[in-house]
Structure 1
């Protein structure tokens, strides 16, 4: 009986320690502000990130240089981005200022890895949205999202350390002290590396990073307007089955996506500088403010695929009312510029200037 009591005591102590351990790693040190905080070493860390990104591109390039992230595009499709007519007046900022406005749009769906991989592999999935002729001819507004609501690095220094690490698992589980491990960030990575969706239009996409919406700070989300509806069988042995499934869907009809915003509440734990912290929907629910309509079409021609490959996307192609904010967004400005320049020079191609359709 004494042995059983001892064992029970040990189990209880271990459970208490486990709960404390999990609680410890669920916490973060992010400061909640409504304004950006720029570290003294950000310029140095930004150049480090640019160099790392170019290294990733050169590591995976063959006869072609691909994007340093989201290298494999499934499609670039034509769409309409329609501003909803029932938006709260306080949210009518930038492109959302005029209800019932419609923008011609290009949408690129992609896998997240920097290598051209089989669609069946666990990976992040992305959507890049390019609105045409906002405010004036030739000006674009672009939104970039992927399929996880929280990023896997807390700051720019950590991101660079991860990219430079030869053993990614050791980066998250460094040393013998488990209290120094990065379990929250590792959890975010594992949530991102998910099995493939049935097709790209049935995935949920999140911005991770924050943006201005006039005086507000927001994050974005894109999801299907309708419940899931499988229209054909997939052959997942085909390495490009996501592209082919999407092609079948859009040959048979169109698709509808909702574009949503989540407002920062500075009284809640919703930091703008640490994209690894999830903004809880219970603190601030998403609000639908636009509808994306993808009409029936054929997109998988060689010409359109090459056009898609040559396109360049950046969250900094944006109106001032939608300015990207936070450390990760600030570094993306320089990284994406350098990446696009290197890729197009290596491939001897130009960024398409004629985008209208």
Structure 2
């Protein structure tokens, strides 16, 4: 029997009564965090995923796909240039000795289609992924609580943050011992410092997938990065993650499989709650493209400055066929624009959007 996928329509999203108020509160907390980070560094950083570990040039290869997967930029066979940013999740720059979720942001260059944001002149599509499949605080109301917790933890001295992560690991073990699924935020705080190139990265929240609804992921494909999955990197210092990325790509490449998990049941696979893990038995992840990265200098001075101070990644920077869905994604419309504007104004740097891969420095 053929799989039945839920068709996209605007009414799959339900806007809450207090969403406007909660969005305003979240924006103010994020702005405050931005200002505090600027005062510490005398340099403006992103209000999420502030610390970069590498900027990579690569290509996204879309093969001939089954009819139901021919959606958006995956509609026909093509090879796109991409730029990838690897990062840690906090909105400030901390030592790698403090466990944290990792991020993979992918900018696909030269994607045709109706743009999501008014005045968007770029022809690119951004996908923002994290190495956790769900967000425990998966609604805007719970997210309001989350950023308060994260902001409080971010102000702790490093040894207290490490202690909190250690406590989280202990609590997670106790929770799993009695067969209860620990929350994604708990898992995020409890992350061991596994090799970030061996991680699988997830959109966490849903996006439009052309005629359908999906979550997107990037999983290790080539043997060399699959071998790094769950690998303990040993003693960790301030910049270990960057050093691992630079060392790997100095002589090796990497391949990741881009996958789409299509929604088949809006109750069991909700759009408005990013805390719900979509069951594999209802809809498995299906490959839609291959991300290929050649050996390169992943963190040259020119590339670091270009990536940290010029580039921006935004889930709303893309085409309508890949519109972000749910309240967690909706709050990002204003949040990302405000953060980007502040960062570029304070650093006196123009916002850049590459029209070709040649714009990325070597």
TM-score of the pair, normalised by structure 1: 0.80
Matched residue of 1:243: which SS?
helix
1:201-231: CA deviation from partner (whole Å, max 9, x where unpaired): 211111110011112110011111034336x
Q: How does 1:106-125 map to 2 (within 5 A)?
A: 106-125=83-102
8 Å Cα contact 1:120/1:195 also seen in 2: no
Inter-partner Cα distance in structure 1 for 2:18 and 2:220: 41
- Name the residue aligned to 1:212: 208
1:351 Cα deviation from its structure 2 partner: 1.4
1:107-132: CA deviation from partner (whole Å, max 9, x where unpaired): 00000112211223210100000011
Greater shift in the superposed pair: 233-242 or 47-56: 233-242
8 Å Cα contact 2:109/2:354 also seen in 1: no
Say if 2:103 is the partner of 1:126.
yes
RMSD, matched Cα: 2.5
Task: Note closer, same or farther for the CA distance 1:233–1:191 as it changes in structure 2 (3 Å cut).
Answer: closer
1:43 Cα deviation from its structure 2 partner: 1.8
Inter-partner Cα distance in structure 1 for 2:337 and 2:61: 29
State how many pairs are aligned: 308
Q: In structure 2, which of residues 221, 227, 252 is the aligned counterpart of residue 229 of structure 1?
A: 227
- Name the residue aligned to 2:316: 316
Matched residue of 1:197: which SS?
coil
8 Å Cα contact 1:52/1:160 also seen in 2: no
Matched residue of 1:324: which SS?
coil
- Name the residue aligned to 1:332: 332
Matched residue of 1:57: which SS?
helix
- Name the residue aligned to 1:96: 74
8 Å Cα contact 2:58/2:83 also seen in 1: yes
- Name the residue aligned to 1:195: 192
Say if 2:21 is the partner of 1:44.
yes
1:67-89: CA deviation from partner (whole Å, max 9, x where unpaired): 1111100011101011122x111
1:153-208: CA deviation from partner (whole Å, max 9, x where unpaired): 13212211332357679xxxxxxxxxxxxxx997211212311222x321111111
Task: Note closer, same or farther for the CA distance 1:91–1:34 as it changes in structure 2 (3 Å cut).
Answer: farther
1:56 Cα deviation from its structure 2 partner: 1.5
- Name the residue aligned to 1:349: 349
8 Å Cα contact 2:193/2:233 also seen in 1: no
Q: Which runs of 5+ in 2 are unaligned?
A: 1-9, 114-120, 154-163, 165-179
Inter-partner Cα distance in structure 1 for 2:284 and 2:54: 30
8 Å Cα contact 2:245/2:298 also seen in 1: no
Inter-partner Cα distance in structure 2 for 1:222 and 1:162: 25
- Name the residue aligned to 2:282: 283
Q: How does 1:237-252 map to 2 (within 5 A)?
A: 237-252=236-251
Task: Note closer, same or farther for the CA distance 1:267–1:333 as it changes in structure 2 (3 Å cut).
Answer: closer
Q: Which runs of 5+ in 1 are unaligned?
A: 1-32, 170-183
Task: Note closer, same or farther for the CA distance 1:343–1:215 as it changes in structure 2 (3 Å cut).
Answer: same
Say if 2:55 is the partner of 1:59.
no
Greater shift in the superposed pair: 69-78 or 275-284: 275-284
Q: How does 1:70-89 map to 2 (within 5 A)?
A: 70-85=49-64, 87-89=65-67
8 Å Cα contact 2:193/2:232 also seen in 1: no
1:60 Cα deviation from its structure 2 partner: 2.3
- Name the residue aligned to 1:14: none
Inter-partner Cα distance in structure 2 for 1:192 and 1:235: 19
